[in-house]
Amino acid sequence: MEITNVSEYEAIAKQKLPKMVFDYYASGAEDQWTLAENRNAFSRILFRPRILIDVSKIDMTTTVLGFKISMPIMIAPTAMQKMAHPEGEYATARAASAAGTIMTLSSWATSSVEEVASTGPGIRFFQLYVYKDRHVVAQLVRRAERAGFKAIALTVDTPRLGRREADIKNRFTLPPYLTLKNFEGLDLGKMDKSNDSGLASYVAGQIDRSLSWKDVKWLQTITKLPILVKGVLTAEDARLAVQAGAAGIIVSNHGARQLDYVPATILALEEVVKAAQGRVPVFLDGGVRRGTDVFKALALGASGVFFGRPVLYSLAAEGEVGVRKVLQMLREEFELTMALSGCRSLNEITRNHVVTDWDLPHPRPLPRL
Ligand code: FNR
């Protein structure tokens, strides 16, 4: 069957992957309310397209932290991609480079920063989890820098792992033939099997729960790389991130895997954008599956978006070819959305191109029968 949109890869991945792996990729936290809401909220934002504008040429290029990319659609960090496909992060890195966009490599990748760099040129960011042992962190950041990574995406929503019940039931753990490659030499590359989610136990043992704003400053003393704070959902924290020297903010709820009943990221975006006051770029991830989603995020002030699960599902289905197709489908859908909305370049996408629930002064009265 021909694949015609990004979401279709999920069913294929479900068929192909062991249940433990698929559930780990797909799950959200607890009731998974936010998981559904990340998608549903996009459907409550509608377009106000403009017509009779010459859209024979569409320019989707943009710059992120000074790096020119072909479209405002980038790859979010997702852990352990070799569980999806033997080429794992290598395939993702090659597909991102071919598409002219940015890949973010997870700290918990099954390929190291050096291995991913060896796949060839490409603009890449490194996602950082802060371990209790700060020597481990400093060493890893230095390795990422040396391997040519261009920014650090500091994940700030994970002092503890969210409660993902499928992982608890499945006793999720990294398969024994794989390693968290960035930590291989440090005796932190394996995950023990436990009576719980193996990842939750790993996080409880290794990740620094005391992480705070002063550590964002500390990070700036050990690296010159720009820091994106990943996991901001409120205006208050957006202001603190700017004060702490962040180069950018990623509005994210970790793909609904951490605190359940936080709002969909697309609903939290505008508040963060307003608080950032244009001092740093604001990005979004969570539930982006369509070109229309990308457009809506940009209309509400995002400088670009990232997506996670479709990479894993397309990797499982078709390896690098799958990830390339996902990037291509999102590109084509986004271009079409721009054309049908009358926007020729990203700076022509405005707040007036969308209408949201909260733009309406009152709920619409019900029609009288
Ligand atoms: C993630 N995410 C994530 N984030 C992070 O900072 N470090 C990580 O290692 C991971 N790992 C990870 C694994 C899996 C299986 C998923 C689904 C997600 C979160 C990720 O970066 C991003 O915020 C979400 O995936 C975005 O939501 P969508 O696009 O998956 O809906």
pLDDT digits (tens, 9 = 90+) for 81-106: 999 999 999 999 999 999 999 999 99
Higher pLDDT, 54 or 185: 54
Q: Which of 142-151, 156-165, 182-191, 207-216 has the lowest mean pLDDT?
A: 182-191
Q: What is the distance in A from the centroid of ligand 1 to the CA of 78? A: 5
Q: What is the distance in A from the centroid of ligand 1 to the CA of 218? A: 25
Q: What is the distance in A from the centroid of ligand 1 to the CA of 76? A: 6
Structure tokens at 15: 């068929």
Mean pLDDT taken over the chain:
96
Q: What is the DSSP pairing of strand 124-128 with strand 151-155?
A: parallel
What confidence tier does 206 reach under pLDDT thresholds 50, 70, 90?
very high
Residues in the chain: 369
Atom of ligand 1 nearest to the CA of 231: 23
Mean pLDDT of 53-78: 98
Long-range pairs of 35-41 with CB within 8 A, sequence gap ≥ 24: 35/255, 35/256, 37/256, 37/263, 37/264, 38/253, 38/255, 38/256, 38/264, 38/265, 38/266, 38/286, 38/287, 39/264, 39/287, 39/289, 40/264, 41/263, 41/264, 41/266, 41/267, 41/287
**Cβ 250 vs Cβ 232: under 8 Å:** yes
Handedness of CA 135, 221, 248, 268 (dihedral sign): positive
Mean pLDDT of 158-180: 96
Name every protein residue with a CB atom under 6 angstroms from any ligand 1 atom: 24-25, 38, 76-79, 106, 108, 127, 155, 230, 252, 254-255, 257, 285-288, 307-309, 312
Please determine, for residue 366, whether its predicted confidence score (pLDDT) is greater than 70. Answer: no
Other CB atoms within 10 Å distance of the CB of residue 160? 11
Please determine, for residue 164, whether its predicted confidence score (pLDDT) is greater than 80. Answer: yes
* 3-state secondary structure (DSSP) of residue 26: helix
Compute the distance between CA of residue 273 and CA of residue 279 in angstroms, rounded to an integer: 10
Q: Given this model, what pLDDT does residue 192 score?
A: 80
pLDDT digits (tens, 9 = 90+) for 310-332: 999 999 999 999 999 999 999 99
Pocket test for ligand 1, best of 14, 22, 78 (most atoms within 8 A of CB): 78
**Cβ 253 vs Cβ 162: under 8 Å:** no
Q: Give the closest residue (by CA) to ligand 1 atom 14.
A: 78
Q: What is the distance in A from the centroid of ligand 1 to the CA of 366? A: 40
Please determine, for residue 185, whether its predicted confidence score (pLDDT) is greater than 90. Answer: no
Atom of ligand 1 nearest to the CA of 253: 23
Atom of ligand 1 nearest to the CA of 106: 9
What is the distance, to the nearest Å, from the Cα of residue 230 to the centroid of all Cα atoms in its chain?
9
pLDDT digits (tens, 9 = 90+) for 214-239: 999 999 999 999 999 999 999 999 99
Atom of ligand 1 nearest to the CA of 309: 30
Q: Where are the alpha helices (DSSP H) in 147-191?
A: 165-170
Pocket test for ligand 1, best of 35, 129, 257 (most atoms within 8 A of CB): 257
Q: Which of 344, 313, 351, 343 is nearest to 329 (CA)?
A: 313
Mean pLDDT of 272-293: 98
Compute the distance between CA of residue 328 and CA of residue 225 in angstroms, rounded to an integer: 29
The residues annotated as belonging to the active site are: 254
Q: What is the distance in A from the centroid of ligand 1 to the CA of 55? A: 35
**Cβ 180 vs Cβ 190: under 8 Å:** yes
